[in-house]
Amino acid sequence: MKEGLKNQYLWGVFFLGLFLLNYPILSIYNVPVKLGGIPVFFLLVFSFWALIIGLTIWVLKKTKSNKNAQ
């Protein structure tokens, strides 16, 4: 993967995180409902957070593995 393409993917992950963890989206899930004793709001905040971390790791590993192959 080219360095410029990696940067574009990382910017995409950043803006996805900015979108998912912004007020209008989070207010949709701010309801008094619990799943397994955990409020839905907290469950989704940590799920979005884990998704962002996972996507970042995936992009960085994909870049690293292609760099070693060349």
Residues of the chain with pLDDT under 70: 1, 65-70
For the segment 41-60, what is each residue's pLDDT rounded down to a tens digit? 999 999 999 999 999 999 99
Cα–Cα distances in angstroms (integers) from residue 50 to residues 17, 21, 44, in the given order: 10, 12, 10
3-state secondary structure 2-68: CHHHHHHHHHHHHHHHHHHCCHHHHHHCCCCCEECCEEHHHHHHHHHHHHHHHHHHHHHHHHHHHHH
Which residue in this structure is represented by tokens 């590993």? Answer: 61
Instruction: Please give the mean pLDDT across all residues of the chain.
Output: 90
Cβ pair 43, 37 in contact under 8 A: no
Q: What is the pLDDT of residue 4?
A: 87
The whole-model pTM stands at 0.82
